[in-house]
Amino acid sequence: MSTPPDPTDALSAVPAAGARRGAPVTGRLRFFYGPMDCGKSTLALQIDHNHARQGRHGLLLVRHDRSGTPRISSRIGITRGALEVDEDDDLGLVVRRRWAAGHRVDYLIVDEAQFLSRQQVEQLAELADDSQVDVYCFGIATDFRSELFAGSRRLFELADELQAVQVEVLCWCGAPGRFNARVAHGRVLRAGDQVLVADTAVAAVEASASTGAAAAITEGVTLAPTPATTVRYQVLCRRHFRRGDLGPNIAQEGQMILA
């Protein structure tokens, strides 16, 4: 006596749970994204802590850490040492070297993942698929022009899971903050280099003719070539980002000063 086919399976190409047991196990590639100061690094360290407590071994990677030393540092004071990833590093090779040296790597935590190259994100996907490594990426989706960073773009395309981290960053109007506006002289900048070199509290635009920084300022404001112009970032909702409206209290010092 044969059992009739399960009608709920009729349109599904996905094997039932029993059959899936034979399928290859893969890791997951996840991308947690949000504006500056939304708690991404804190979440990264929390996830690392949770895994480590389960006896899993992780490797922490970071691009352009804000502290200037390779570590994942949250603004609430928790810090862990990390491996600095350079532009040309093959992340698959980085992990395989760890394995060759006798270390376990069950999962990766990657902070400032927006700065990864397209290829590096693809290497992370490969680690998940072929080496069963779970990969947790944390980063900012869009730059000061509201356009995707290269690493974030590739993560949006490839990740198994995308999660917006919207902890406590609000625009001055109270709406959820979504965009990192680059601000100088009380104005929102609309053009310029995507990444400013800034590993201290104050980012400085090198207002040389070659970078075109002075010419990049909107609305005819010209930067003095010297001294360097102080640039800060302010998180805004889309409406106020589009309008360049920094709110009634423009001098919000202490709020996100850096790239």
Interface with Zn ion (CB under 5 A): 171, 173, 175, 237, 240
**Around Cβ 181, how many Cβ atoms within 10 Å?**
25
C-beta of 116 vs 169, nearer to Zn ion:
169
Residue 166, classified by CB atoms within 10 Å of its CB into exposed (0-12), middle (13-18) or buried (19+), is: middle
Q: Where are the beta strands (DSSP E) in 1-106?
A: 29-33, 58-62, 71-73, 79-81, 83-84
The residue type of 224 is A
C-beta of 63 vs 240, nearer to Zn ion:
240
C-beta of 136 vs 172, nearer to Zn ion:
172
C-beta of 173 vs 191, nearer to Zn ion:
173
Phi, psi of 164 (to 5 degrees): -75, 130
| Rounded CA separation 251/253 (Å) | 6
| Rounded CA separation 245/236 (Å) | 8
Q: Which residues are catalytic?
A: 112
List, in order, residues 6 or more apart from 196 with CB less than 8 Å away: 182, 203, 204, 205, 231, 259
